[in-house]
Amino acid sequence: MIVIGCALRLRTGSTVPVRPGDPFAAGRAVRVRRADSVQSADMRLKPLLLLPAAACAVLLVGCSSDDTDTAATGVTAISAEASAPSAGDVVPASNCPTQAPAEGTEPEWTVEGTTGSVSIVGQTDTTAPLITVDKPFAVDETEVKTLSEGTGPEVTDSSTITVCYVGVDGRDGATFDSAHQRGAPEQFPAGGVIPGFRQALVGQKVGSTVAVVIPSKDGYPQGTPDGSIKAGDTIVFALKILAAN
């Protein structure tokens, strides 16, 4: 988490201090709850934690949050879809499939950047999304593509969403976070994320499969302290919104 001296409040009500300069709580063991279990896990990059330090007090009020945090590890390719649950439903881990799409699957969205390009296959009921990068990929403006529109409630800034997602760095094509690798969705406030990721959420309907390309200015203008995302990097997400409260 790019926040100094803040704390992350888990759904259990306990508070875990965030080490100063600790981006996204990387390498920190915390107690978390995934679905119906509580377990210890190493934290890495998560959309909930994709906030510049200056936004901490404004968006998260002291960087406390009621969302559920789960373990994260780096990955390479991903996908997921599930029948869209009603708002407030608990989404099982099986809703973030881990299997890659079949070889030769046609991309649903291709973006030509100022340099490079990216092709995206959205998640399905049985396969994870796939983001293929012709690197280095970069864009000047955030672009959002609804790959498949859901039929559930509309996501607002005040919604707490449940989502499967994968994030890839356009500079080198490396996956920096994936709910699909973990096999379980994440939950966080739609209004508490970086600007580019928020644009991919707010206004979408539950059940939608979405892709977004985010320039540095709407993501991490200074990069992340651990260097995994560098200043100037464009980042790419493919996601599916499973629920919104």
Give every residue of the chain whose pLDDT is below 70, as ranges: 1-94
Q: Which among 72, 73, 94 is positioned nearest to 83, based on CA atoms? A: 94
Tell me how far apart the alpha carbons of residues 66 and 226 are, in angstroms, rounded to a whole number: 25
Tell me how far apart the alpha carbons of residues 167 and 178 are, in angstroms, rounded to a whole number: 6
Q: Which among 95, 34, 105 is positioned nearest to 69, based on CA atoms? A: 34
pLDDT of residue 226: 87
pLDDT of residue 119: 98
pLDDT of residue 184: 94
pLDDT of residue 123: 96
Tell me how far apart the alpha carbons of residues 19 and 25 are, in angstroms, rounded to a whole number: 7
Q: Do the Cβ atoms of 23 and 224 come closer than 8 Å? A: yes
Which class does domain 93-244 fall in? alpha beta
* CA 33, chain centre distance (Å): 17
pLDDT of residue 72: 34
pLDDT tens track for 88-143? 443 443 479 999 999 999 999 999 999 999 999 999 999 999 999 999 999 999 99
pLDDT of residue 224: 87
* CA 146, chain centre distance (Å): 16
pLDDT of residue 131: 98
Q: Which helix (H) or strand (E) holds 238?
A: strand 235-244
pLDDT of residue 46: 52
Any idea where the domains of the chain sit in the sequence? 7-60, 93-244
Spatial CB neighbours of 87, under 8 Å, sequence gap ≥ 6: 152, 153, 206, 243, 244, 245
pTM of the model: 0.68
Provide the residue type at 161 as one letter.
I
Provide the residue type at 163 as one letter.
V
Q: Do the Cβ atoms of 152 and 87 come closer than 8 Å? A: yes
